[in-house]
Structure 1
Amino acid sequence: MIETRPLLPMAGHTRGKRSAVTCQLKCDSACAGEVCNTTNNEYFRDIAGAAMGRRQLLGLGAAGAATLVLGGGAAQLATAPSAAASPLGSAATRWWHGSQLSFQAIKPVDRLVDELTVPAGFQWQPVIRWGDPLFKRSPGFDPLKQSAAAQAQQFGYNNDYTDIVEIPGSRGRRAIMFCNHEYVNPAIMFPPSLDAAETRAISRAAHGLSVVELRRSRAGKPWTYQQGAPLNRRFLTDTAYALTGPAAGSELLKTVTSPDGRVAFGTLGNCSGGTTPWGTMLSGEENFNGYFVTAGTSATDKRYGLTSKPTNLGWEQDEQRWDTRNPGYQNEVNHFGWIVEVDPHDPQSTPVKHTAMGRLKHEGANVIIAEDGHVVAYMGDDERFDYLYKFVSKNKYRPGNSPAARSWNKKLLSEGDLFVAKFEGDSVSEIDGSGKLPDDGRFDGSGRWIPLTRNGVSAVPGMSIAEVLVYTRLAGDKVGATKMDRCEDVQPNLRTGKIYVACTNNTNRGKAGYAAADETNPRNENRDGHVVEITERGQQISQRFDWNLLLVCGDPSKNESTYFGGFPKDKVSPISCPDNLAFDSAGDLWISTDGAPSTIGFNDGLFKVTLEGRERGRVQQFLSVPRESETCGPIVHDRDGLVFVAVQHPGEEGSWAEQRSAFPDYVKPGSKPKRGQAALPRPAVVQVFKK
């Protein structure tokens, strides 16, 4: 029998974000516990901001950021604004002529509605769902006959970051889809008759990553996933990952499972990610702490939210490594919290975890090529009062798709310098926590990237290079980084080089004993979140930047402390809890949300935001996901007329006996499902296209 769900720590305390069930399963009810960051870092100095013009850039960032020019298995995109400066000539220039996806914004959808709502003239269908078989001999999904062996050959649960890249030479008819699987909800997944040990084994198999091959009849048509395709792959909790970078082989990474500290097994809590210019996929390990039992007494345990209480999923009952109090396993938890890199074009390749990029609760990582050829990656640590990071590679990107270039580029994230952000405002005296706009009409200022590592050695006094990278949060504390309101996805705009940071929310901001509001995080009890726009000074590898707030989110009809880049508040779609970011071919920003039902009373959705011109700050809602679900992994292929989202945890608050969503099959209770369907919610990647 499945154990009943215990009393939820966040029950009655979720005004700032999601349901108590999601809080428990996704992040071990982090907001119900002590704040991990108890440092007393300073925030601001009065300083005048500085403007920076556009620059020419080369790189590939967010999922679906643009039309891709593919060859030899790598993805490249020229983002220079002029044909003369672009190695792709006029094709790159056409990329900027404007989005080809026009739509009428939908009205917000009440949080009790169990529908996926799209604009008039559009329709949607699943690409793939939890349990869909991936390999030739994979069993079909049967909710009453689940097993760990079957799940290991099927698409995993709670799909989050997603990207779709066309396969070279296929004329737009074949593509690779990469997706990660963040966490599970046994209460709605498994029938009561299923053995508890088996449910735990299935849960482990439902985590990890998937690579799936897609096909379609011609360009512009929707995609269908291919069972048994040669590139299909699952990454499980026993998959071996090579540890790279300065911390690999250190004493802090040696365990019974990895005596030399150079191999880790499995990936956990994967949230957002990114696609590199050389065609690999990145995934961020986020809420890994909830899978481990530790002593819970050390400063490092507390800083990463690790405790001695039994875990929600109970894997420590089956395998010793999930309880680090067992002899020889004390460093097992240090194998998680990294940026993972996968080559989806090579099913035999070994995935890696990059220690040079630091260990934290990574929302994801997004890469851009700097003007001088160095690779720059931006990363957010998704927890209240934690930090924003930047990584600059030691070596430079080699253009081209030759085997030698790809081999070289796949090592670029293994060596480099790691920085953490310090923000400074220019209207400090006017910030009172109310969200009132300063007299100059902007929340803005400047900032600097403080080095944590330089040239392969520690830049933090009193910490070795291995300590900085394994305990990166503590390194950020020591250098006085700015505490943020949960910086989640961080995406570079390939047209302008500006960086966009989704700060989801922080209801503890300004409370007694916690950090006060500041100009970068200007509201006390910040329920709705905001979006920061960063402009690097001079070039992408600069250590100085300027910033402003693009959005201060919420429902403007009910909340005066909202701001939409100067655009009239009565002409925008209400938006709350920004989470994942993407760009279309015109360089406009798309935002998926996570938590709107508990803040503004509407289902989460996907929103387009204009960034330039008279309509800067205009927010238009494109779609709404079903009740109790989260919008993840947005991909906008507007030139192809397609938009994709990963719908995560639909019907999260239900039970096996009382399901609260039927997405995506919508089989009515008592009716006979069609083949491959089930009368229970199944997280799925969906595509939206014109009728």
Structure 2
Amino acid sequence: MSETTARKFTLLPMLGHTKGKRSAVTCALKCDNACAGDVCNTSSNSYFRDIASATMSRRAALGFGAAGALAVVLGSAITSAEPAVAGGPGLAPAAKEGFATSKLKFTPIAPVDAAVDAVTVPEGFTWQPVIRWGDPIFNDAPEFDLNNQTAAAQEKQFGYNNDYTDILEVPGSKGRRAVLFANHEYTNENIMFPATMPADQKRAVGQAAHGLSVVELERKNTAKPWTYVKGAELNRRFLNSTVYELTGPAAGSPLVQTAADPEGRFIKGTLGNCAGGTTPWGTILSGEENFNGYFVSPSTSAEDKRYGLTSKPTARGWELDDPRFDTRNADFKNEASRFGWIVEVDPFDPTSTPKKHSSLGRFKHEGANVIIAESGHVVAYSGDDERFDYLYKFVSKDKYIEGDRKHNMTLLSAGNLYVAKFTGNSPAAEITGTGAVPKDGAFDGIGEWLPLVVDGKSAVKDMTVEQVLVYTRLAADKVGPTKMDRCEDVQPSLHTGKVYVACTNNSNRGVGSNEAATEVNPRNENRDGHIVEIIETGDQTSTTFTWNLLMVCGDPKQGDVTYFSGFPVDQVSPISCPDNLAFDSVGNLWISTDGAPSGIKKADGLFKVTVEGPERGKVEQFLAVPRDGETCGPIIHDEERTVFVSVQHPGEDGTFDAQVSFFPDYVKAGTTPAPGQVRAPRPSVIQVFRADA
């Protein structure tokens, strides 16, 4: 067994403990076996749920007054800069016409067995890749050679395991040119490289396959699918050698200084990027999530433990080649604190310096999504993807100025940071831990945004602003927010101003001494997850809100206790482990998943959910991804009847010599390739479109 394989696959603590299609290999490589370790949040703050008569409930919402944002064409289906209309349900004009008016009509597919190595799409649709792992993106890049990958080649090719994805039209191109952004979350060297490849070469290529990519696209007209353009002017790879500027109050702090960067302002590389968002001024935000798994640390401090840093060798062994990944080295004791930020990238300027924004706090960011409040301030929502961690909101100090891109690109550098506290309006006895709806017929209540940093000053006792932003988890522990079930993507609707939070799961809730079910997290051993809907009391800058659960996920046909806002449970597609969120042009919510309902072995997929009107809560499955794959980065261009997703970690449980997926290079989509035609699955961005397009 090779050194790399031995480091990664002899110890798989989640083996036999994962449910459904989730792979123990994914747990090891993506999130450093987080669910097998101790809960990072051991704070004593708890959830105040036993209030029979809440002062305010979702039925007494005072309106949200949210503003729509100037969306980038194609980056979001919403193109209006007009604010959403307050009063009534507060629907923007397109939504008033009905949430079922989208041009993207389809017959929902049935759940697909997890062993099927195919992309399954609705009748009348087809699919093809836009770009795959290893595709050359520069003129001097070599063609992908699975048996002879080098770091130099990979640096010029599309990276591995793309997650957040967006497509932004190039201004003035009349819909025929665009840029695609994708981040690259992690690698699986066991299926990427032959066993005979030297371990140090695997590590070097693996590093080069991380980071971010920007690639130009072209098409003949808006009815045709996109193809990527090798050697295009805007193509760019962001590598571990790429320098990022740290902005905000933590920039220059002793807490982020190293021997290599004594100023504490310039950071090499970005790690563990998961979801993200696109700003109204046309930049991309990407969240650094499971960065802890890349570092060896002393693991003796409260800060290290709270962020899941340990002294064990890492799965990839980068510390063997680069001392900055071993923070026991005094010169790099702060290196891990230089990760866990929101990254901002300008995809239209390949010479620009990307930024890491300390004002949004440091934690396991799933991503960040922006909306412009009526006041003109920029508001960004972000979830901390860890069991029993928190939901955050950032409000910019300065205001958005339409058309002033240079100014708007500074808005995330300074502002107020808050963490959410939820209170339910049902008696504690009615929250049984099964997911059963309380007597009032809904999971709902009120909430408060607790301040961490306000007007440039710390709102947390005995912590400076720099400490609050570098050790945001510990700061939040002190003010008593609500422990959540892994907040992943958080998306504000530009139609209604409502905010949707994907709580993926938390199988440890109610286990042992861990906090039991609460109204906002209503199920013990929560394996299927749920979606929270937030309505800000005033505009998005408000410090109070009301909330309800849009759905409690699962498969009713398997006996799961589920809730879909009152929609008949026998008429929904079963859904589990909501992860990434997106909206279409008329305000329907789309959910990509990372897990199968209640442990049944079904493929992950993409689902449309009606969020307003008589069919609120209706779930319809649009596609399913191939064996071992996860659905990421959904982009919904329903006006063109086209959907894009990133397919991450297909064939995760295979080995180089015994692959279990051949996605996407089948002889024909959905069939087995000829012997010797392909040797490995290739994570890819794919497009799904009408077969008659």
Residue aligned with 1:496, SS: coil
Report the equivalent of 1:420.
Answer: 419
Residue aligned with 1:23, SS: helix
- Tell me if structure 1 keeps the 8 A contact 2:83–2:374: no
Instruction: Give the alignment partner of residue 124 of structure 1, picking from 127, 134, 148.
Output: 127
1:87-106 superposed matches below 5 A:
98-106=101-109
Q: TM-score, normalised by structure 1?
A: 0.94
* Distance in 2 (alpha carbons) for counterparts of 1:57 and 1:644: 27
Report the equivalent of 1:12.
Answer: 16
Report the equivalent of 2:281.
Answer: 278
Q: Which amino acid aligns with 1:184?
A: T
Q: TM-score, normalised by structure 2?
A: 0.94
Deviations 1:178-214 (A, max 9, x none): 1000000000000112111000000000000000000
Deviations 1:407-433 (A, max 9, x none): 110000000000000000000321121
Q: Which amino acid aligns with 1:413?
A: L
Distance 1:342 1:14, change over 3 A: same
- Tell me if structure 2 keeps the 8 A contact 1:604–1:624: yes
1:444-455 superposed matches below 5 A:
444-455=444-455
* Distance in 2 (alpha carbons) for counterparts of 1:619 and 1:91: 21
Please say if 1:169 is aligned against 2:172.
yes
Which sections of structure 1, spanning at least 5 residues, go unmatched? 70-75, 83-88
Percent same amino acid at aligned positions? 64
Distance 1:108 1:422, change over 3 A: same
1:574-613 superposed matches below 5 A:
574-596=574-596, 599-613=599-613
- Tell me if structure 2 keeps the 8 A contact 1:39–1:477: yes
* Distance in 1 (alpha carbons) for counterparts of 2:481 and 2:267: 29
Deviations 1:629-676 (A, max 9, x none): 100000000011110000000010110111010000025566353xxx
Structure 1 residues 130-139 or 40-49, which shifts more?
40-49
1:451-530 superposed matches below 5 A:
451-530=451-530
* Distance in 2 (alpha carbons) for counterparts of 1:320 and 1:590: 42
1:50-449 superposed matches below 5 A:
50-53=60-63, 55=65, 57-59=67-69, 66-67=76-77, 69=79, 77-80=81-84, 98-400=101-403, 405-429=404-428, 430-449=430-449
* Distance in 1 (alpha carbons) for counterparts of 2:84 and 2:78: 14
Which sections of structure 2, spanning at least 5 residues, go unmatched? 87-91
Please say if 1:24 is aligned against 2:23.
no
Taking only aligned residues, the RMSD between alpha carbons, in angstroms, comes to: 2.0
* Distance in 1 (alpha carbons) for counterparts of 2:72 and 2:526: 26
- Tell me if structure 1 keeps the 8 A contact 2:64–2:539: no
Q: Which amino acid aligns with 2:201?
A: E
- Tell me if structure 2 keeps the 8 A contact 1:77–1:277: no
* Distance in 1 (alpha carbons) for counterparts of 2:248 and 2:645: 33
Distance 1:63 1:406, change over 3 A: closer
Residue aligned with 1:469, SS: helix
Residue aligned with 1:515, SS: coil
Residue aligned with 2:614, SS: helix
- Tell me if structure 2 keeps the 8 A contact 1:250–1:261: yes
Structure 1 residues 92-101 or 631-640, which shifts more?
92-101
In the TM superposition, what is the alpha-carbon distance from 1:58 to its structure 2 partner? Answer: 2.4
Distance 1:80 1:669, change over 3 A: closer
Q: Which amino acid aligns with 1:20?
A: A
- Tell me if structure 2 keeps the 8 A contact 1:422–1:482: yes
Distance 1:60 1:105, change over 3 A: farther
Q: Which amino acid aligns with 2:63?
A: G
* Distance in 2 (alpha carbons) for counterparts of 1:376 and 1:443: 26
- Tell me if structure 1 keeps the 8 A contact 2:154–2:209: yes
Report the equivalent of 2:656.
Answer: 656
Deviations 1:108-149 (A, max 9, x none): 001111110000000000000000000011001010110000
Q: Which amino acid aligns with 2:424?
A: G
* Distance in 1 (alpha carbons) for counterparts of 2:444 and 2:11: 43
Residue aligned with 2:28, SS: helix
Residue aligned with 1:350, SS: coil
- Tell me if structure 1 keeps the 8 A contact 2:20–2:601: no
Report the equivalent of 1:561.
Answer: 561
Please say if 1:671 is aligned against 2:675.
yes
- Tell me if structure 1 keeps the 8 A contact 2:563–2:569: yes
Report the equivalent of 1:33.
Answer: 37
Distance 1:17 1:438, change over 3 A: farther
- Tell me if structure 2 keeps the 8 A contact 1:576–1:599: no
Report the equivalent of 2:536.
Answer: 536
Distance 1:472 1:461, change over 3 A: same
In the TM superposition, what is the alpha-carbon distance from 1:7 to its structure 2 partner? Answer: 2.3
* Distance in 2 (alpha carbons) for counterparts of 1:246 and 1:380: 21
Distance 1:247 1:487, change over 3 A: same
* Distance in 2 (alpha carbons) for counterparts of 1:134 and 1:622: 30
* Distance in 1 (alpha carbons) for counterparts of 2:617 and 2:98: 22
Deviations 1:360-417 (A, max 9, x none): 00000000000010000000000000000000000000002xxxx1111000000000
- Tell me if structure 1 keeps the 8 A contact 2:246–2:355: yes
Report the equivalent of 2:89.
Answer: none
Residue aligned with 1:211, SS: strand
